[in-house]
Amino acid sequence: MTAEERIEQVVIFAKEKRDLALVESPDYAARLKYRWQHTLRVVHYGKKLAAKENANAEIVTVACLLHDIAKLSDRSRNVEHGRIGAKMAHPFLKELGYAEEDVENICYSIASHVDGKADFEHPLTIEAQIVSDADKIDRLSSYRMMLALGKFVDSEYETFIATVKKRLSKSQRASKEWRVQTKSGQDLFQQQISAQAVFLERLIADYEMTLSLEF
Ligand SMILES: [Fe+2]
Ligand SMILES: [Fe+2]
């Protein structure tokens, strides 16, 4: 099997999990759709970082596709979802014919993507660092920010701006506290933060201007 064929099988596996969750929990349709689109964006960032960091692109692609498999299966949305997902992926990856060390690297990348910890011994790999970075880059996407703000757009202007300010401090905190591990990941991450800051600060400035216009 070629790398492309293996990746195709991984996509089928992930989509099957998603579609099963959709049948079991139709109320989660929007959440599952978001999760799948997030997964595809993480793959996109992962591939970019793998090329720049000289990492194994197939391992990164497969691990990015499976990094949130527990959430895609609606098994878990908590901090454990990486470790749960790695256990779900392990037998499938072996069956697909990956060498033991590749299975372990992919599973380590999935398991540790949330908080840097796996529940089995494995050295830190560049592939795991990239999966974690790619995930964090998308967590600060403009779309995700708009989804969060959108819930408040029909509230009182003041309430909406309070939410905007919270979002701005969240992204400023992320800039200092989130552990982005690769150099090229850090560049993309900072671009996301700057794009958010420009827009959020503009929203606040518009509000302040509006207040100043009161007679
Ligand atoms: Fe995750
Ligand atoms: Fe994720």
Cα separation, 55 vs 44, whole angstroms: 14
pLDDT at 76: 67
CA of 125 to the centre of ligand 1 (A): 18
Q: How confident is the model at residue 166 (pLDDT cuts 50, 70, 90)?
A: very high
The rounded distance, in Å, linking the Cα atoms of 110 and 131 is 8
* Residue 65 Cα to ligand 2 middle (Å): 9
SS3 labels along the chain: CCHHHHHHHHHHHHHHHHHHHHHHCHHHHHHHHHHHHHHHHHHHHHHHHHHHHCCCHHHHHHHHHHCCHHHHCCCCCCCCHHHHHHHHHHHHHHHCCCCHHHHHHHHHHHHCCCCCCCCCCCCCCHHHHHHHHHHHHHHCCHHHHHHHHHCCCCCCHHHHHHHHHHHHHHHHHHHHHCCCCCHHHHHHHHHHHHHHHHHHHHHHHHHHHHHHCCC
Let me know: does 89 contact 110? Beta carbons within 8 Å.
yes
Query: What is the model's pLDDT at position 26?
Result: 87
Arithmetic mean of pLDDT, 163-191:
94
Q: Would you say residue 199 has pLDDT above 90? A: yes
Statement: residue 95 has pLDDT above 80: yes
Say how many Å lie between the first and final Cα of the chain, rounded: 73
Single-letter amino acid code for the residue at 54: N
133 Cα–ligand 1 center, Å: 11
Q: pLDDT at position 27, please?
A: 86
Ligand 1 centroid, distance to 70 Cα (angstroms): 9
Q: How is domain 3-132 classified at the CATH fold level?
A: Hypothetical protein af1432 (1.10.3210)
> Phi/psi class of residue 194: alpha, beta or left (left: φ > 0; alpha: ψ in -120 to 50)?
alpha
**Which sequence spans correspond to the domains of the chain?**
3-132, 140-212
Is the pLDDT at 75 greater than 70? The verdict is: no
Tens digits of residue pLDDT in 135-163: 999 999 999 999 999 999 899 999 999 99
pLDDT band at residue 17, thresholds of 50, 70 and 90? Answer: very high
> With 80 as the cut, is the pLDDT of residue 74 above it?
no
Measure 208 CA to ligand 1 centroid, in angstroms. 37
